[in-house]
Amino acid sequence: MTLNGGSGPERCLSVQGFTCLIDRPREKERVPVICNPCTRQHLTLPTVKAKNSDLRTFFGYDPIKKEFKVLCMTVTKYRKQVNSKEHQVLAIGEGRLSWRKIKCLFPHYPERERDGICINGILYYVARSDKTCLIASFDVRSEEFGLINMPEGSELTNISALVNFKGKLCAVVYSSSHGELWVLDDTQKEKWSKHSFVSPDTDFEGVKSTWATDAGEIAWVISRWKNPFYVFFYNLDSKSVRRVEINIEDKVLKGIDRYAHLSVTNYVESVMIL
């Protein structure tokens, strides 16, 4: 699929077989595009109209109403204070596609170039408030924002990724030698559990793309185009690591910046038509 301009730094994970990209046909213009890689269908959404060009965009799905929604927030900086001022949402399937403003009751702003993840109709993303790292939530159906409290005694000051671990929200934190998984076992009581893992062949400082498989493995890839590249899978039950080598044909790599971002996710094909 070819976009009119070029995609920005945003990276949206797959939602029900669809993904949301940001097209930039002109300078300072941001146009969300919903894509289905399986059918090659893409749906261009209205241009986001905002007073500030620094925007954060997330993609979610409500399994009850079976409705996709795109959330867009304007991030502003005033006297060293950073907050999201405008909050807009667009529902796909309501007829005419249009953005409408909604309210957020607590000051925060999503971190730049971070993936959001939608689990059971709740969109989660890494954010900050008064320089404090936190996890914010957005109910796709009710369109209400929330805040997930961090576990006591944790060091979740630099979350590398949010993943869906067996249907539960999981925060992944990397250091140079090991990784940590903080799994939100109970959303009502905000009860977390901690798991650690290591890999002798990986420098975790170079990991940019992380996800979880349906089998309960944590997977990651070093974010750089080179041939071959390796995907690592860690099984928490057996505490074992397996490495998969992937070779890409040279004609596919031709014309791609070798320092371009490489993102791999647990994509599931869908033949659904928007």
Beta carbons of 22 and 6 less than 8 angstroms apart: no
Q: Order across the sheet with 31-36: list the strands.
A: 19-23, 31-36, 41-44
Is there a domain that residue 102 lies in? no
Is there a domain that residue 269 lies in? yes
Q: Look up the pTM and report it.
A: 0.85
Helix, strand, or coil (residue 251) = helix
Sign of the torsion angle spanned by Cα atoms 52, 55, 59, 60: negative
| Helix ranges (DSSP H) in the chain | 250-253
**Residue 87 and residue 145: Cα distance in Å, rounded?**
11
List Cβ neighbours of 193 (8 Å cut-off, separation of 6 or more).
182, 183, 185
Whether a cis peptide bond, with omega within 30° of 0, leads into 228 is yes
Amino acid identity, position 59: F
For 141-196, the pLDDT digits (tens) are 999 999 887 777 666 567 888 899 989 999 888 776 778 888 999 988 888 998 88
Is there a domain that residue 37 lies in? no
What's the structural domain count of the chain?
A: 1
**Residue 76 and residue 87: Cα distance in Å, rounded?**
12
Paired residues of 179 in beta bridges: 174, 197
Beta carbons of 116 and 60 less than 8 angstroms apart: yes
**How far, CA to CA in Å, does 84 sit from each of 73, 107, 162, 164, 179?**
6, 7, 20, 26, 30
Residue with tokens 């994970």: 13
Is there a domain that residue 104 lies in? no
Is there a domain that residue 257 lies in? yes
**Long-range contacts, 48-56 (Cβ 8 Å, 24+):** 48/72, 48/88, 48/99, 49/99, 50/74, 50/86, 50/88, 51/85, 51/86, 52/76, 52/85, 52/86, 53/28, 55/30, 56/10, 56/84, 56/109, 56/110, 56/112, 56/125
Q: Which two tokens stand for residue 85?
A: 């001022």
Count Cβ atoms below 10 Å from residue 69 Cβ, excluding itself. 23
Sign of the torsion angle spanned by Cα atoms 194, 199, 203, 207: negative
Is there a domain that residue 230 lies in? yes
φ and ψ of 190, to 5 deg: 55, 50
Full residue range of the structural domain in which residue 243 is found = 151-274
Is there a domain that residue 54 lies in? no
- Ordered per-residue pLDDT tens for the chain, 274 residues: 566 555 554 555 678 888 888 777 676 677 888 888 888 888 888 888 776 667 788 999 999 999 999 998 887 765 555 666 789 999 987 678 899 999 988 888 887 767 789 999 999 998 887 767 789 999 999 999 998 877 776 665 678 888 999 899 998 887 767 788 889 999 888 889 988 887 666 666 667 678 888 888 888 886 566 677 788 888 888 888 888 888 877 776 676 665 555 566 667 788 877 7
